[in-house]
Structure 1
Amino acid sequence: MPTPTGPRITRRILLGISAGIAAYKSAQLARLLRQAGFEVRVVMTEGAQAFIAPLTLQALTGEAVRTSLLDPEAEAGMGHIELARWADLVLIAPATADLMARLAAGMADDLLTTLCLASDAEKVMAPAMNQAMWGHPATQRNARRLAEDGWRLLGPDNGDQACGDVGPGRMLEPEAIMDALLSMAPDAAPATPTAPREAEGLTVVITAGPTREPLDPVRYLSNHSSGKMGFALAAAAAALGARVRLISGPVTLPTPEGVERLDVETAREMHEVAQRLAGECDLFIGCAAVVDYRAEAAAEHKIKKVEGEEGLILRLVKNPDIIAAIAARPDRPYVVGFAAETRDLEAYARDKLTRKGLDMIVANDVSGTETGFGSDRNAALLLWRDGDEVGQVDLPPQPKSELALAVVRQALARLDAADTT
């Protein structure tokens, strides 16, 4: 993807909506954009209007919604060219497989595709479609072509789909799209003071997402971690001026702007990369949901059901304890761990803080639907060692982007206090 020649302030967003069931999320996205202070104008394809009414978007943005290239009143003033020139950023959410194919081919057969060709604004899309359509070679080829043409793709996300399938293809949640837009350029949000560069000159290493431990060539052990919290932490640390190196398990999230990403699959791979980077950082945040056990030996071929046998016995062995190993290093950085619990949150967090030799721990309850795995909101209990005492603060439920900023700032404050004692 071409590198921008310089920063550009994004205040005017053209929101394109194409014909997917995820169009209902575009109303919330438009509301969030307006709340953040952006000017928003909406263009809808003909098919998108079958999923959400233009009047809804007009009410949310305060602007007339454009739906037709051949609108006589608008075209009297070359309306599509005017729209193309007006926008600082073109955001298409959802972007269907059909729209991606038409844009990749350079077609201009409706208002949305026409103004995309006519605009030199930054361009972002959030794909949304059935998992089989997303995985089809033609769609993947189109995605690569669009990236080469300068489009930035956000997602898609992995999970349940409206058709009943499960897999990659669902549109990112509006809050996650907002986080990604703001992380693309810290100065993009209008009427917002520049954030203090509290982490300038520091190097931060963060682990995020799940790990996968193979059982055979087609099956693995894993968990429900989406990686959203770890990626939000990386975006927050980068926005505060740190050099950020993100060790990510298998997730479908876009890399935050200014963050160096290293992808891994298994706990042992994550352990090896973490140990390699830990000696070169000031702050280490272990946010990944590392699978505790792996198969003693993964099967070379797919494990088959055996007629007459009602069960399968697997021998599992412990994976390395990544965060404890970092905390035990003689050249250790300031170490922050995470504790995802379903009960007795404070008791388990205090035990983990002491037992693993951490400097600080972020404990959250993942048993609920509002702040559990995959949610765009979270709450946390922060505990840290303060001499012989343990300090603590409760952070209430809030968007993960805001929670991440609070966590990073608290860690930086504790790191500064430790350096001055």
Structure 2
Amino acid sequence: MSRIVLGVGGGVAAYKSALLLRALTERGHDVRVVPTASALRFVGAATFEALSGNPVSTEVWDDVPEVAHVRIGQTADLVVVNPATADLLARAAAGRADDLLTATLLATGAPVLFVPAMHTEMWQHPATQDNVATLRRRGALVLPPAVGRLTGPDSGPGRLPEPHDVAALVDVVLGGGSLQQDLAGTRVLISAGGTREPLDPVRYLGNRSSGRQGWALARTAAARGAEVTLVAANVEDAAPFGCTVVPVGSAAELHAAMTARTGDADVVVMAAAVADFRPTEVAADKLKKGSSSEPTAVALTRNPDVLADLVAARRAGQLVVGFAAETGDADDDVLGHARAKLARKGCDLLVVNDVSAGQVFGRPDNAVTVLAADGAVTEVAAAGKDTVAAAVWDVVVPRLGSRR
């Protein structure tokens, strides 16, 4: 169990902090909510106390014998400020200590994660950008805001990332993963999910991929400053913040979407599970049992090899990362098959999943081995998929070098 301080700034998005609080406590964390006085004008202290099981204070004068303005920060494993308003970012950057939250920020030695939310003009103002740069320079983690509906009719960058995204990134930080801005200025193209090859208007040939590992790769890349385009094949989860999503269905659609966008990318990640085959013929009407159209066999045609085609079209300096879901058999073990695939495909890195006995698909955790074309091998131990994604980016970033 980790001890988390959840700081809440005084913006309308403060209502989402209650949802984040619930997500964190459901993960088993001990959460102490420290709101600003203005935050309590949006969400009452009783809500935070009921959800956290801990008292809520805003002033350094509360619970003086505990020396709360020092002790809360000293005992934290992580401080999350959600939402971080423009005013709160400014006060934190200036080193103010005029309420319990800003005093806690000065007293803590734990990682600090700011999750900004404000109107677009406020986010883009040079003063706010200078404050963000100051906080990052000091080691704080400041997420980029989401793009979407704001207060009233306005829309644009400045929306608070959704609670499930923030909770997933909290897992990364607590797991020792990096959310530093080492992908800033990098254009990333990621495929995720599983393709479906239609047999008739109702049925399809598909696979068990949930798309969650690709989602985690996109979310952690966006958190680390990348410009992310996500080609999503049949993924039900809400799209991560900071990503441009291109929905596709079949392998042919995914091939076309990736091919059209690969030229602009610095890193291409093929995390989607792409069907190797599709039905040779697609029935115009539903195939019915006992009818003249009932099939006795399904003829299959091989789909294009998306990863191989992306490697063949790779521009100078572009890094291509493939994924391999493997099982061992009588011919070779998982890594043996993966090394053969790496050589055959020609990508720079291959992320290998052992999917024997129903592992990985649809599960919250993953464990991978990252094979490099130069022979390097990186083992990533079992962890949440966002923590695994952060570890994959840790392998990618040093290899970008002068490519960007």
For 1:196, which of 170, 174, 180 is the aligned residue?
180
Q: For the residues of structure 2 that align with 1:196 and 1:16, how far apart are their CA atoms?
A: 22
The aligned runs of 1:399-414 (5 Å cut-off) are 399-414=384-399
Q: Compared with structure 1, are the counterparts of its residues 289 and 357 closer, same or farther at alpha carbon in structure 2 (3 Å cutoff)?
A: same
Q: For residue 62 of structure 1, what is the amino acid of its counterpart?
A: G
The aligned runs of 1:114-193 (5 Å cut-off) are 179-182=164-167
Q: Does 1:294 align with 2:278?
A: yes
Does structure 1 conserve the Cα–Cα contact (< 8 Å) formed by 2:177 and 2:387?
A: no
Q: Does 1:335 align with 2:320?
A: yes
The alignment partner of 1:352 has SS state of: helix
The aligned runs of 1:307-326 (5 Å cut-off) are 312-326=296-310
Q: Compared with structure 1, are the counterparts of its residues 63 and 363 closer, same or farther at alpha carbon in structure 2 (3 Å cutoff)?
A: same
Q: Deviations over 1:16-74 (max 9, x none)?
A: 99xxxxxxxx7x75242735x56399xxxxxxxxxxxxxxx99994349xxxxxxxxxx
Q: Deviations over 1:303-326 (max 9, x none)?
A: 112369996211110111111100
Q: Compared with structure 1, are the counterparts of its residues 243 and 299 closer, same or farther at alpha carbon in structure 2 (3 Å cutoff)?
A: same
**Shift in Å at residue 239 of structure 1?**
0.9
Q: For residue 351 of structure 1, what is the amino acid of its counterpart?
A: A
Q: Does 1:260 align with 2:235?
A: no
Which residue of structure 2 lines up, in the alignment, with residue 353 of structure 1?
342
Q: Compared with structure 1, are the counterparts of its residues 281 and 294 closer, same or farther at alpha carbon in structure 2 (3 Å cutoff)?
A: same
Q: Deviations over 1:173-194 (max 9, x none)?
A: xxxx86523479x9xx89x999
Q: For residue 222 of structure 2, what is the amino acid of its counterpart?
A: A
Which residue of structure 1 lines up, in the alignment, with residue 200 of structure 2?
216
Q: For the residues of structure 2 that align with 1:287 and 1:402, how far apart are their CA atoms?
A: 16
Q: Does 1:39 align with 2:33?
A: yes
RMSD: 4.0
Q: How many residues align?
A: 279
Q: For residue 30 of structure 1, what is the amino acid of its counterpart?
A: T
Q: Compared with structure 1, are the counterparts of its residues 396 and 16 closer, same or farther at alpha carbon in structure 2 (3 Å cutoff)?
A: closer
Q: When the two structures are superposed, what TM-score results if normalisation uses the length of structure 2?
A: 0.60
**Shift in Å at residue 261 of structure 1?**
0.5
Q: Does 1:239 align with 2:228?
A: no
Structure 1 runs, 4 residues or longer, greater than 6 Å off: 6-12, 57-60, 147-150, 307-311
Which structure 1 residue ranges, 5 or more long, are not aligned? 1-5, 18-25, 42-56, 65-86, 90-120, 123-146, 151-176
Q: When the two structures are superposed, what TM-score results if normalisation uses the length of structure 1?
A: 0.58
Q: Compared with structure 1, are the counterparts of its residues 183 and 238 closer, same or farther at alpha carbon in structure 2 (3 Å cutoff)?
A: farther
Q: For the residues of structure 1 that align with 2:11 and 2:344, how far apart are their CA atoms?
A: 46
Does structure 1 conserve the Cα–Cα contact (< 8 Å) formed by 2:268 and 2:321?
A: yes
For 2:352, which of 363, 366, 372 is the aligned residue?
363
Percentage identity across aligned positions?
Answer: 36
Q: Does 1:14 align with 2:18?
A: yes
Q: Deviations over 1:369-409 (max 9, x none)?
A: 5x4200110000110022xxx11011110000100011012
Which residue of structure 1 lines up, in the alignment, with residue 126 of structure 2?
none
Which residue of structure 2 lines up, in the alignment, with residue 375 of structure 1?
363
